[in-house]
Amino acid sequence: MRIDIVTLFPDMFPGPLGSGVVGRALERGTVEVTAHNLRDYAGDRHRQVDDIPYGGGPGMVLKPEPVFKAVRVLRGDDPPAAAPCGQLTPQGRRLDHALSVELAAHPRLILVAGRYEGFDERIRTGLADREVSIGDYILSGGELAAMVLVEVVARHVPGVLGDEDSASDDSFSSGLLEHPQYTRPPEFEGATVPEVLLSGNHELIRKWRHEMALERTRTRRPELLDGVGSQPGPAGKPASKEKSR
Ligand code: 6GU
């Protein structure tokens, strides 16, 4: 998968994307992430990408021309359906598991990260195929949001996660929060590991994990339970997380 990011701060990339699971995918070329400087697409010699808002008000607004130019150049001959443009703004659709799966189905993505007071509205109406937010709070720019989006989308790209860590096993795929995990020692400062996990009885362990996942979801995120089945997943495939590097 190829992801291009249009930004005023290309030096922020790959940043944290260079470490861990996504870092390995970038090294192998399973996922390609390239940051492009929006100023390179400004028409004038001052490389101006922003201007004062019509109607007045504080701050500056990103001009349409450089953003349209950048996305059109990067898209080349690819149709928008193959290389959709995602605009990162706090007004967008909130990123969740389902949206990350949807986005991962495209062979390419072009992400536009903004700064200042925002984008000229004609970018949203005439260029962007989607508008994505990563949550209900304000970041100073879309770059960190773009990184979060790349990380969650990359996990669905075949070959990014190891065999035993497929993304379809992860917690939000099952619709439940993850069950508690334990490792050695069996007792730490008086706190012990639940007996069932030491039992070697895989059927009992699977049921216990499912119960714990359900209970956690019930108490912490009850809204996630709407429409979730109450049966445990396939044997030997508990919700998992990838190993660190
Ligand atoms: Cl995508 N951009 C900015 N600037 N702030 C955000 C966001 C995006 N998502 C949540 N807050």
Residue 138, ligand 1, Cβ within 6 A? yes
The dihedral built from the CA positions of residue 29, 109, 134 and 225, taken in this order, carries a sign that is negative
- Record the tokens describing residue 91, joined without a space: 């007004």
Per mean pLDDT, which range of 54-63, 116-125, 128-137, 226-235 is the poorest?
226-235
When the pLDDT of each residue in the chain is averaged and rounded to a whole number, the result is 92
138 C-alpha to ligand 1 centroid (Å): 5
User: How remote is the CA of residue 233 from the centroid of ligand 1, in Å?
Assistant: 35
Catalytic residue, chosen from 117, 151, 165, 169, is 117
Q: What confidence score (pLDDT) does residue 229 get? A: 55
Going from the Cα of 21 to the center of ligand 1, the distance in angstroms, rounded, reads 24
pLDDT (0 to 100) of residue 75: 98
pLDDT at 130: 98
Ligand 1 closest atom vs CA 95:
9
Separation CA 111–CA 114 (nearest Å): 10
Reported as a single tens digit per residue, the pLDDT across 138-177 is 999 999 999 999 999 999 999 999 876 677 767 788 899 9
User: Ligand 1, atom 5: nearest CA belongs to which residue?
Assistant: 139
User: 209 catalytic, yes or no?
Assistant: no
User: pLDDT by residue (tens digit) across 63-86?
Assistant: 999 999 999 999 999 999 999 999
- Is the CB–ligand 1 distance for residue 147 below 6 Å? no
pTM over 0.85: yes
Residue 165 bears catalytic tag: no
Q: Note if 75 is an active site residue.
A: no
Q: b/e for 53-84, b at 16 or more Cβ within 10 A?
A: eeeeeeeebbbbbbbbbbbeebbeeeeeeebb
Q: Which two tokens stand for residue 131?
A: 């508008």
Structure confidence at residue 237 (pLDDT): 42
Residue 32 bears catalytic tag: no
Q: Is the pLDDT of residue 242 over 50?
A: no
15 ligand 1 Cβ < 6 A:
no
The Å distance, Cα 142 to ligand 1 centre, comes to 5
Three-state DSSP string of the chain: CEEEEEECCHHHCCHHHHCHHHHHHHHHCCCEEEEEEHHHHCCCCCCCCEECCCCCCCCCEECHHHHHHHHHHHHCCCCCCCCCEEEEEEEEEECCHHHHHHHHCCCEEEEEECCCCCECHHHHHHCCCEEEECCCCCCCCCHHHHHHHHHHHHCCCCCCCCHHHCHHHCHHHHCCCCCCCCCCCCEECCEECCHHHHCCCHHHHHHHHHHHHHHHHHHHCHHHHCCCCCCCCCCCCCCCCCCCC
Ligand 1 atom at shortest distance from the alpha carbon of 146 = 1
Does 90 sit in the ligand 1 pocket, CB within 6 Å?
A: yes
Q: Which residues pair with 6 in a beta bridge?
A: 36, 112
pLDDT at 240: 44
| Any atom of ligand 1 within 6 Å of the Cβ of 134 | yes
